[in-house]
Structure 1
């Protein structure tokens, strides 16, 4: 595997060995009103791709994701043996690949592996097939970065235990440090990669946006996320239930336009709430903030100020 240092945040590492332990409730800035429930998690991301067979080969061979369901234009993918998809590929005729950073919208989506041995097996697999990846130690997690055939960004990562997380005042400490690949490989204990485990999930989504103040207004006050990391230049990270982030936003593509109809892109990402009552409470808060909401059979759909759709279901 060819590995390069990957700067997720556009800023130097800020490791701080003197930071305080991040105990529950000791970090983050909650919204002024409605707040997402602690059990909030993410569901599938839906991607528009230019060549379905080529993308399917990439996601199966390189990432080890298995087909859950498939028709002529759509493939649902998840961990081996899983029944809930984490990635949905949709082919739209005339779609063209994009240059990373050239459009607002998706920066990357992040697939969360269940443990360090799985991450070690994945690293060994990438090395064996000669794949290229970036890497970073973010203090709260250990991550690899890839690009799919259409230029869409992918992170594959594993979390560190929450009792190892640190904070500075109320801000969670994250950094962009070199990743100890050898230690992760050792964690696998020589076991072979057999595909993404069934309990692999979608961990977070990271978006290019046009303005961070508008992102706070929409994603914190409108959608109800807590702000977790806010002092990285040009970036803001938000989460629910104390998680380091379910959503990253940045202005590193400032001046870029929103995705066009023919671009490969993120069609929608999904937030899963514990109950239908939670979806109704969120809907009411969105409407109170002047955000247009479309009702769907399984939940609601709305778009951020830069046109990226968000789907919420129970």
Structure 2
């Protein structure tokens, strides 16, 4: 590998994350067995209940909601060949926190599905009881990242230094520490070319890294807030955003959401500027906005909308969500 890469910082998010204009807000999962899923997110991940109402429970850190579970015993199980959620990635403040969680997971007998040093971060992977993918990771300082000549950041799948991470643990895992966030969401899509056109051309994200079968998208110079891959889902049909049914045929217009995976929530528009967090660009792309199945009133001028092939509102374009019927992640402009 050459020279060893620096260890992640342990002083909060001095990794480019804090300066990024967009962050993932809340990930919402449809749960067939909400009680079992709630126990997992509380006992295994260390999230705390924040609020609940009929059929819905919200988990997070302090008053910040990171995951919402919506109970639907009749929900159709998602399959790995479909477009949708690949994993939700929880970003911890420091390397010692990841070490403490690894020890905690070992004590509980949790099976990891993967682990890697991505150069920009160190990460481990697992699944929840209903098969939703999860990443738990810590970033390296932004000044330690390596940039390619084409302006993309270098990311790899190197062997994780598990022993070093565990040695960094300052104490036992008690709960997910203050300052933890959903760092990014990774989606399965039917085709990378159309996904790239949608997320860069319409939403204004930068391609931060190209990897075989995957695309990493960021704003504000962060390595990624969104990722897309076709490792299991290449050629998957377009999703119907209001149901759990795949939709046959693929939207061909540039700007159309390739997988029925975009919802738009009107919000503030970030300041324009090349790449590093430019404003999402709009323009007619053919399909009308349709009411989202969980539409809510967020005040004057705000509405949650489903947008397979829709344009972002030109006056207010700061919050939207990505995902499918079984999982939705809200992206916020900060």
Q: State the TM-score, normalizing by the size of structure 1.
A: 0.76
Shift of residue 150, structure 1, vs aligned partner: 1.1
Is 1:297 the counterpart of 2:297 in the alignment?
A: yes
* Corresponding position of 2:166: 185
Tell me, yes or no, if the aligned pair for 2:208 and 2:217 is still in contact at 8 Å: yes
Q: Assess, with a 3 A threshold, how the Cα gap between structure 1 residues 268 and 219 changes in structure 2: closer, same or farther.
A: closer
C-alpha distance in 1 between matches for 2:205 and 2:109:
39
User: Aligned runs of 1:103-142 on 2, under 5 Å?
Assistant: 103-133=82-112, 134-142=114-122
* Corresponding position of 2:41: 59
State the secondary structure of the residue aligned to 1:168.
coil
Is 1:276 the counterpart of 2:268 in the alignment?
A: yes
CA RMSD of aligned residues (A): 3.3
Q: Assess, with a 3 A threshold, how the Cα gap between structure 1 residues 66 and 310 changes in structure 2: closer, same or farther.
A: closer
Shift of residue 96, structure 1, vs aligned partner: 4.2
C-alpha distance in 1 between matches for 2:201 and 2:109:
44
Tell me, yes or no, if the aligned pair for 2:126 and 2:135 is still in contact at 8 Å: yes
Q: Paired residues, what number?
A: 273
Point out where structure 2 has 5 or more consecutive residues left out of the alignment. 6-18, 246-259, 272-277, 310-321
Q: Assess, with a 3 A threshold, how the Cα gap between structure 1 residues 258 and 95 changes in structure 2: closer, same or farther.
A: farther
Tell me, yes or no, if the aligned pair for 2:121 and 2:139 is still in contact at 8 Å: yes
User: Aligned runs of 1:71-110 on 2, under 5 Å?
Assistant: 71-79=53-61, 82-99=62-79, 101-110=80-89
Q: Assess, with a 3 A threshold, how the Cα gap between structure 1 residues 63 and 38 changes in structure 2: closer, same or farther.
A: closer
State the secondary structure of the residue aligned to 2:36.
helix
Tell me, yes or no, if the aligned pair for 2:102 and 2:166 is still in contact at 8 Å: yes
Q: Assess, with a 3 A threshold, how the Cα gap between structure 1 residues 307 and 187 changes in structure 2: closer, same or farther.
A: closer
Q: Assess, with a 3 A threshold, how the Cα gap between structure 1 residues 292 and 193 changes in structure 2: closer, same or farther.
A: farther
Point out where structure 1 has 5 or more consecutive residues left out of the alignment. 1-14, 20-36
State the secondary structure of the residue aligned to 2:195.
helix
Is 1:248 the counterpart of 2:227 in the alignment?
A: yes
Shift of residue 301, structure 1, vs aligned partner: 3.4
Listed one character per residue, the Cα deviations across residues 161-193 of structure 1 (whole Å, up to 9, x for unaligned) are: 11110022122100011111111111113x010
Q: Assess, with a 3 A threshold, how the Cα gap between structure 1 residues 239 and 294 changes in structure 2: closer, same or farther.
A: farther
Shift of residue 94, structure 1, vs aligned partner: 0.6
C-alpha distance in 1 between matches for 2:265 and 2:107:
36
Larger relative contact order (CA 8 Å, sep ≥ 6): 1
Listed one character per residue, the Cα deviations across residues 62-88 of structure 1 (whole Å, up to 9, x for unaligned) are: 111110011231111112xx1121111
Listed one character per residue, the Cα deviations across residues 79-120 of structure 1 (whole Å, up to 9, x for unaligned) are: 2xx112111111113124444x23211111111111111111
Q: State the TM-score, normalizing by the size of structure 2.
A: 0.72
State the secondary structure of the residue aligned to 2:197.
helix
Tell me, yes or no, if the aligned pair for 2:263 and 2:306 is still in contact at 8 Å: no
State the secondary structure of the residue aligned to 1:86.
strand
* Corresponding position of 2:257: none
Larger helix percent: 1
C-alpha distance in 1 between matches for 2:145 and 2:165:
18
C-alpha distance in 1 between matches for 2:264 and 2:225:
9
